[in-house]
Amino acid sequence: MAHILVHEVGPRDGLQVEQQVVPTETKLDWLGRLIRSGVDIVQVGSFVHPAKVPQMADTDELFRRLSAEPRDGRATLSGLVLNEKGLERGLACGVELFCLGVSASETHSRKNTGMGTDEATTRIIATALEAKKAGKEVQVSVQSAFGCGFEGVVPEARVMGIVAAYLDAGLDAISLADTAGHAHPEQVTAYVRRILALAPSARITAHIHNTYGVGMANVYAALDAGATSIESSFGGLGGCPFTKVAAGNVATEDLVHALQRAGVRGDIKLDALIGVARDVATFFARDLPGCVYKIGPISAGTPAC
């Protein structure tokens, strides 16, 4: 638990479904505070067509400006790419960690990328290897790994087939994404353990949505099974605009609060995360799904049990 990495995806996954576009300067303020908070990775944005996801239209500019300024914080800057063009753009503007993914749901894959799962797997692996050749860190994901809003149950064999293709290509930093929020703890535990049985040195991330209220339970199931990184979003904001029900993520401040109650990751500035979540809620003029930013954290001196 002491080595759990926190990957803040709010600036990308949190904002991508919002109709009200956030100004670039406001994003830079939020990003700077997240970077300084002590989280390990901050996902700045995604390299998608601005007509399809207007919130991500300034991703290149955000990376350029963040890369050009001295960084007060250790966070790695990540970006999501879905194809070769996205990689080209990311390499040109300073992405440090490339996140690439394939949906195990044929329907979701076509809605999200315009490609079927098999074609997407081939192209994403080739793109990921190009990023590695360029000296960049790479993480590959299986989206809709635990179920799909359109198709329902996604066969485990399909998920593990994509995982096996990644591992065969030498890509061992793997994220399991609960895009539709269908995961349950026993399923999360089983999938993480199966990957580690295939490749004990694999670095597994869990990207958990809280659509049906079991987000934190699934986070703990992933950690107990051997995942080493969790992706979360400020205030629990977010969701994929190309899935059937776009619902929020596990809230970063809720995750960090829980970890700190367990005596780990005290190096992350929880108050900074709460401050960002409150400002995001104020910007969108509504309550976000997260809990801790609204009610405040439990005092550090209060026993956990």
Instruction: Please identify every residue annotated as catalytic.
Output: 240
Q: What distance separates the 2 farthest-apart alpha carbons in the chain?
A: 53
* Rounded Cα gap, residues 228 and 246, in angstroms: 26
Phi, psi of 260 (to 5 degrees): -70, -30
Q: In sequence order, which ranges of the chain are alpha helices (DSSP H)?
A: 24-37, 59-68, 84-93, 106-113, 117-133, 156-168, 185-198, 215-225, 252-261, 270-284, 292-295
Phi, psi of 276 (to 5 degrees): -65, -45
45 close to 12: Cβ distance less than 8 angstroms: yes
Residue 298: how many CB atoms within 10 A of its CB? 13
Amino acid present at 190: A
* Rounded Cα gap, residues 74 and 38, in angstroms: 7
CA distances from 127 to 81, 88, 136, 186, 251 (A): 9, 10, 12, 33, 30
